[in-house]
Structure formats: structure tokens, C-alpha cells
Structure 1
Amino acid sequence: MTALVIGAARSGVALVAHLAAAGEKVRVADRKPAAELQSALAQMPSGVELSLGGYDEAVLDGIDVVYASPGVPWDSELLNQARARGIQVSSEIELFLGLCRGTVVGITGTNGKTTTTALTGDVLAAGERPVIVGGNIGDTVLDRVDEITPQHWVVLELSSFQLESVQRPHLHVGVILNITPDHLDRHRTLERYVDLKARAIEDADQALLNSRDALVSGLARRARGQVLWFDRHQPQPPMPLPGRHNMENALAAAAIGRIAGLKDDAINQAIRNFKGVEHRLELVGEWEGVSWYNDSKATNPDAGRGALSAFPGAPVILIAGGYGGGFDLRQWVADVLANTEAVILIGASADELAKELGAHPKVLRAQTLNEAVSMAAGLAREGGVVLLSPAYKSFDMFKDFEDRGNQFKELVRQRFAA
């Protein structure tokens, strides 16, 4: 058996290691040259055939199965060429789900997936069964599949890209937190995006849904198993992170804990001790009476809205803008007008946002993140908040949202904590 792995990022590295250990011949294809993949290549076993810096249909010659990384569109030309040749097309997450012996909880949604996944892991860890957390949260799972027993809880963050590669995933608990338009540059229509999210619950034993979200609640009829509504969970958990969106994340995690048979005291203690997730409304620090928050993971306007409503009554200086477009900005603009004292715009979307925020009394432009931090420091006053919550993706100025958030934290700490 000869396998082709397309994409040498984290999931690709995990795939290569697993397939090679199983005795399969492996070929890796990536459009990036070897010089940009040194870290990934160093983690791969010897004997792997490499096709780097670009590829064409010839890379399929002699291949029995193709595994595509999440960043590869499921309808890409190469994958369609593979299907036309009768070659099976799969993915890391599909292979993992077929091999996993544990009880799987799959969590998806447009926003809040990572926080809810991490929090659910903490909640389930309060019980007696071992817990594995992974998926889109950043930790691969295929490299841990051999250690998973039937006693394990496995908590997976599932993106639309991952769900696209699994036709009917069978999960014990499928969770959909919320749905708003996102990734339409890849999925093209909202209907397609919703259909992909629905895969998390269509064949699940239990579907955990949000009755406050019209698109999510409308999917209840597509669930094969029992439907539960996490937003109705009682008692309300003691979520330490600010914002209504974080309370919804906590309600989902608490409802999963209840499904797992945990007592409310254990669930609430785990939630009370939760420290949050990096780049998700993360407190960088407080200096001169001003709190600085990194919400770089807010890569769309709906994600940004959650942070905007998290500091009622506080004078908020917002840093926003980035890469992307085609969003309906009306609700985000309304929240910015209602909850911010000043807005500093960066990135490719700055011109569009400046026009949309024409009614705001103080909108400024910064050419760099460093300049934005300096401007925010000059505007902020005691008792206030400086909030990096871009509401756009990061690729115009940064490697990814982690890079954007890390640069922000470093700039703030250099300024105040040196």
C-alpha cells in the first residue's frame, strides 16, 4: 500500500508517522519548498518520498490512497483527479475516527470551539475516566490513537474543513455551538457550510445544540440520536471568563459533563478553575489601571462581537481589522458603537471599516500593530480596557492569528513590563 499525504503541516506529520509505522510506503506533497518545511521534515521518518515546491497529477502515479490535510479544499483539482482514477481520498480525522476505541465528543461551531473543547476536557478530567483532547485545537490525535482505550473520553474540536473530509462521523456526543457565515471563500455558500457543521450531529448518539441560535436549532430534525439543548442547562456554571459567549461555552461543557454522569459540584469546580485559552479573550496584564486583552482568535465579526460585550461600563479602546471580506458588518458595527470609546484600525480591511464606522466619534488608523499599541496606550484611561479583537483573519500582516496575538502580547509587555 502506497499513501500520498498532501500537506506537511501538523496533521500531515502525524499521518506520515502513523502510516510509516504501519508499514505503508508514504509520499508527501506540499506546495512549499523544503526550505520552508524544515521543522516538519525533521519530524518525519526516513524513507519518505518527498514532492515539495509544487506538484501536478503525476504525484498520484502508483498511489493507492490519498490523505488530504485540512487546508486542502475537498473539491481541489488534485483530489478530483484522484477520485477519477478510483483512488480513495481520506484525511487524518477520518482515519482516526475509524481507529479510535474511546468515547468521542465532537465539538464544532463557528466560534467558541477551542475554549469549549479545552473546558470540556477539564470537566471530564474531574471524573474517573482518562481524557484525550485534540483535533483542530492544535494537538493531533492520530499519533496518540494506540494509547486510547475503551475507557477514554476523546474530546475533539472539529472545524468545517475537517468535517468536510468525513462523510458521516459517528460520535457519542456531537455538539454545535453556533453558526454564522464563515469560510465562504472555501465553502462558497452558507448552505454548504451549515451542511458540513450538521455532520457532527447527524449520526451522533446524542446531539447537543443551542436553541438560542436559529441555524443550529433548525438542525435538530437532522439528528439521528437524542437531542439536548445545552443553553437550558441548570445550574448556571461559575464561568470565570468574561462575556456571554463564554457563559454559553461553559453551559455546553457543563451539559457534556452531565451526559458523562458527573455530579454538578465536580462540573462546577472544574469550570471555576478554568484559566482560559491563549488568544481567546486572554488577559495579557494590567498596567496603570488599564487591562490589556488579546482576542486575536476573533477572525470574523461574530467572534469579535462576543468580546465587545464582555466589559459593560468600561471605556474600551478597540484594535480591529485584518484580512478578508464579504461579512455582514451591521451587528458588529452596532456593538462597536455601543461599547467602545475609540477604535484603532489596522490591516487590509481598514478602509472598509472606517467607512462602516463613520458614525463613531473616534476612529484612528495605524500602519503597524506596534503603532496601534502605542496609540492605544495614549488613549486608554484608568479603569479601561484595550482590546485586540480584529474581527478579521490575520494573513495580510501575520503568519496566522497566533502570530498576531503573540506579537501583540510581546509589544504590550515590552512597553509596560520591561
Structure 2
Amino acid sequence: MKSVTQFENKKVLVLGLAKSGEAAARLLAKLGAIVTVNDGKPFEENPSAQALLEEGIKVVCGGHPLELLDENFELMVKNPGIRYDNSMVARALEKGIPVWTEVARALEKGIPVWTEVELAYLVSEAPIIGITGSNGKTTTTTMIADVLNHGGKSGVLSGNIGFPASEVAQSVTAQDTLVMELSSFQLMGIDSFHPHIAVITNLMPTHIDYHGSFEEYVAAKWNIQNQMTADDFVVLNFNQDLAKELATQTKAQVVPFSTVEKVNGAYLENGGLYFKGELVMQADEIGVPGSHNVENALATIAVAKLSGISNQAIKETLASFGGVKHRLQFVDTIDEVKFYNDSKSTNILATQKALSGFDNSKVILIAGGLDRGNEFDELIPDITGLKKMVILGESAPRVKRAADKAGVTYLDAKDVADATRIAFDQASAGDVVLLSPANASWDMYKNFEVRGDEFITTVEQLKG
């Protein structure tokens, strides 16, 4: 870990706990800061706050008193999910949602507001490969780390993938590479953050409720290259005209990838995956299905070649890649029926991508979840021809309307376990049961992981 003195005896407020907040608080205390942690969960129900208090860190729990901001803090490190503005306060109060006014107040006072990935950059001895985008971040991040490790380098996973960057960054050395998944929320809270290689998998209209507009969302993602120079590389998806526009707005060297045209980077041509004219492997050798995984593999190839990894190591890694848990994860085969867990597909685009890897006539799709008020007409071309759908959740009436328009028959289910059993009953040898909900999970489950785990457990029970 780098020796950093800029936080010594400075008052820092860590807003919101969870894994990243807890890691940031500990790191700041280690760096000599006078840390206060503020979390909405009551202290008696908050083991993280209890542990931090035992370590001598001040904690304020059970609410978010605005008078905290009168304590002359010089920095705020916030949980990425907390909004920067106060524009949603009235609506949030009406719905009983916790209101985070401290961030707006801090900004009014001129207090810098960071996310913990900025801390990670400041203390990391390792160079950083940062991966962001609307879809494919986790898969691409995992692919890149796997390729680096198989190719004789040390790729260490961190960031939005479930390993707090400010915790991981403390233990890496200059011989390692931090492979960091980054959300738009995290990238709004950076200042000097400087990856050597940045990847943007794609940019689609998501999280607009947080950012306010697609333009603001793109701007947040584009922060990833703010500090990059001509010695750095930004890997962009040239399937999108937007990426081509952004390519003109960076000091970094642009390395494109594309499945639709030959580019000066990584591309698909006649079924082969190439890097600057050199064949690396065949697309059908990738270990996970779907056109989106061809894009993820091309982004990975670009990073791997920039990092000096051999074609053989790239091919071996991507051919054996089994996917990421909850992202088009192959679970098992029962009576020649294959089960795939794609619980992380919480929006229409992700489910469209998942379906692209299969023959619809052999797919029984489990879909539905949190009702966000949107219809599913965009999904109609992608579900047309499905063998069957099993539909659940708050959004079921809307998903059923799309199924009716697509001419797909469907059955109702009360939850994922029920849906999985129903789907298996409907399946024949050679079919695929695919959980790809196209909806968030919060109407029934704490998160998409819990939803996916229920699918996996049910498959195990069916096999048993």
C-alpha cells in the first residue's frame, strides 16, 4: 500500500455502510483520518457499526441528522447508491424511502464528495484496469482477470463485482493488476482516479431515475477517462455510434472492438475473433453462449493483447469460461434439459442479449419481477417463437401482454422455485430452461442473487 499522508488528522464523514463503507472507514482510520460513520440502520441491528465502534471509530446510526455537516468535515465518502441531489426528497418521503440530504448539503458547503474507489486509487501500488458499461461489466471484468492470471500476470478482482476496491487495494503490489468493475454511481465520486486501461462495454439508457437523463448517465461513465493520457488505453464498443463520438473526446489511445465491422482493434470476421489482423480464436469456441458474450470476449481480447498475453492463453481461458454466477450461468442438465441462471438480467436489454444465444423454439423462459411501470413491447421480437414462458411477479400483467402480442403461451408461477418446477414439467429433451427475468427482484427477493440462488437450489432438488 502506498504511503498516503493527506488524510492525517482530517475529519472525514463516511455516509452509508455496506461492504464499501465499512472498508473505506477502516482504511481512512488507518491513514490517520478522524472518521465518523453515519448509517441509517439502528445501532442494535447494525453489526458493521458495532464492529467499527469497537475499533474506535465514531458511529452515528438510526438516522441522518443534518447537524452532522456542521462538524467541519473536510471530506465525505459516500455509498455509491446515495444520490447527489435533493430533487427526489418529496416523492421519496411519500413512498417512505429514506432521504439522503447530507450529500446535497455537503456539496453546498464545498465539501468534496467521493466514493471509495477514489481511495483505492490513492493507495494502490498496482496499475488499474477499469471496466464499466450498461451490460456485460461483471462478465468482462471476470474474463479479463481470468485471462491475465492464466497468461502469467496477476489480475485481482475488485470494485462493483463484490470486493470493495479500498480493501483490495491495500494488499496488492506493483506486480499485480487491479481489475476493477465500476458503476456509474462510483464514477461520479472520483477526482484523481486514473486507470491505465479503461473499458466501456456499451452504453444504454439505464439508471435514468438516478442520473436524471441518458446524457448525465453517459457523462458519469465517461469520467473513467478524465485523468488518462496518451500513455493509456480506452477500449470502446464501435458497434455503437455513441462510442465513436466519445472516441474523439479523450487523450487516451482508443482501441475499438466490434462484431459488425473490421476495426483497428478487436473484431469478428467470418466467425473468427481477430486483433489487428491476427486471428486469436473462433467465436464458437467461447465457453458461454450469446452475441453479447462475443462482444465481452472481444473487449477482453483487446485488454489481453495490450497486456502482453499470448493468443494461446486467451483462447484457453475464453474456451473454458463458464460464465459468472447469476449472469447466464450454466447450472446443470437434468434428463437432457439444460438450466441457465440469468437472474442478473434486471432489464429488457439484458434478457434480449441472453435470448440471442439460444434457439427460441427450445427455450422455456422464466420472466417477471418488480413493476416499474414500463411495458415490454421491446421484448416482443426476442420472445417470438419461444416454446413457453413462465411468468411471475408484480410485472406479470405487462409481461403477459408482450407474450400475447408475440403469440407465446405462458403459465403463471408464484415464485422462482414454483416457476422452475413448472418449466421443467413443460420441457423435453434438448430444451433449455432460462431464468432471465427482464425485471428487478425487489417485489419478491432482497436482490437478484437471492432470486438466482433459489433457482439453483430448485434445480438441485429436481436433480435429487
Which TM-score bucket, shorter chain as reference? over 0.9
Bigger CA drift: 145-154 or 280-289? 145-154
The residue that corresponds to 2:3 in the other structure is: none
| Match 2:354 to one of 307, 310, 316 | 307
The residue that corresponds to 2:81 in the other structure is: 71
1:5, distance to aligned residue in structure 2 (A):
0.9
Instruction: Name the CA distance, whole Å, in 1 between partners of 2:456 and 2:151.
Output: 35
1:230-379 aligned within 5 A:
230-231=257-258, 232=263, 233=266, 234=274, 235=279, 237=281, 238-312=285-359, 315-325=362-372, 329-338=376-385, 340-359=386-405, 360-379=407-426
Instruction: Tell me the SS of whatever aligns to 2:170.
Output: helix
The residue that corresponds to 1:12 in the other structure is: 21
Contact residue 389 and residue 408 of structure 2 kept, 8 A = no
Instruction: Tell me the SS of whatever aligns to 1:147.
Output: coil
Bigger CA drift: 55-64 or 173-182? 55-64
1:104-143 aligned within 5 A:
104-143=128-167
- Is the alpha carbon distance of 1:313 and 1:183 closer, same or farther for their aligned partners in structure 2, counting shifts above 3 Å? closer
1:143, distance to aligned residue in structure 2 (A):
1.6
| Match 1:393 to one of 440, 444, 464 | 440
1:366, distance to aligned residue in structure 2 (A):
1.9
Bigger CA drift: 129-138 or 143-152? 143-152
Amino acid at match of 2:397: D
The residue that corresponds to 1:218 in the other structure is: 245
1:268, distance to aligned residue in structure 2 (A):
1.4
Amino acid at match of 2:83: P
Amino acid at match of 1:271: L
Q: Deviations over 1:244-291 (max 9, x none)?
A: 111111111111010012221122122223232110111111112211
1:35-54 aligned within 5 A:
35-38=44-47, 41-42=50-51, 46-54=55-63
1:313, distance to aligned residue in structure 2 (A):
5.8
1:47, distance to aligned residue in structure 2 (A):
1.4
CA RMSD across the alignment:
2.0
Structure 1 stretches of 4+ moved >6 Å: none
Instruction: Tell me the SS of whatever aligns to 1:107.
Output: strand
Instruction: Tell me the SS of whatever aligns to 1:254.
Output: helix
Amino acid at match of 2:391: L
- TM-score, structure 1 length as denominator? 0.94
Instruction: Name the CA distance, whole Å, in 2 between partners of 1:321 and 1:217.
Output: 34
Instruction: Name the CA distance, whole Å, in 2 between partners of 1:186 and 1:60.
Output: 23
Higher RCO (CA 8 Å, separation ≥ 6 residues): 1
Bigger CA drift: 62-71 or 146-155? 146-155
The residue that corresponds to 2:92 in the other structure is: none
Bigger CA drift: 16-25 or 172-181? 16-25
User: How many pairs does the alignment contain?
Assistant: 416
Instruction: Name the CA distance, whole Å, in 2 between partners of 1:202 and 1:326.
Output: 35
Instruction: Name the CA distance, whole Å, in 2 between partners of 1:179 and 1:198.
Output: 10
Instruction: Name the CA distance, whole Å, in 1 between partners of 2:40 and 2:364.
Output: 40
Residue 417 (1) aligns with residue 463 (2): yes
Instruction: Name the CA distance, whole Å, in 1 between partners of 2:256 and 2:187.
Output: 22
Contact residue 203 and residue 225 of structure 1 kept, 8 A = no
- Is the alpha carbon distance of 1:323 and 1:215 closer, same or farther for their aligned partners in structure 2, counting shifts above 3 Å? farther
- TM-score, structure 2 length as denominator? 0.85
Residue 185 (1) aligns with residue 185 (2): no
- Is the alpha carbon distance of 1:40 and 1:263 closer, same or farther for their aligned partners in structure 2, counting shifts above 3 Å? farther
Give 5+ residue unaligned stretches, structure 2: 1-9, 87-100, 267-273
Bigger CA drift: 160-169 or 380-389? 160-169
Residue 60 (1) aligns with residue 69 (2): yes
Instruction: Tell me the SS of whatever aligns to 1:397.
Output: coil
Contact residue 17 and residue 44 of structure 1 kept, 8 A = no
Q: Deviations over 1:60-90 (max 9, x none)?
A: 2323321101111122521121122232221
Residue 152 (1) aligns with residue 176 (2): yes
1:363, distance to aligned residue in structure 2 (A):
2.3
Contact residue 80 and residue 185 of structure 2 kept, 8 A = yes
Contact residue 132 and residue 181 of structure 2 kept, 8 A = yes
Instruction: Tell me the SS of whatever aligns to 2:414.
Output: coil
Contact residue 28 and residue 48 of structure 1 kept, 8 A = yes
Instruction: Name the CA distance, whole Å, in 1 between partners of 2:438 and 2:33.
Output: 43
Instruction: Tell me the SS of whatever aligns to 1:4.
Output: strand
Instruction: Name the CA distance, whole Å, in 1 between partners of 2:199 and 2:344.
Output: 20
Instruction: Tell me the SS of whatever aligns to 2:408.
Output: coil
Q: Deviations over 1:327-361 (max 9, x none)?
A: 574432210114x2111111121111212222223
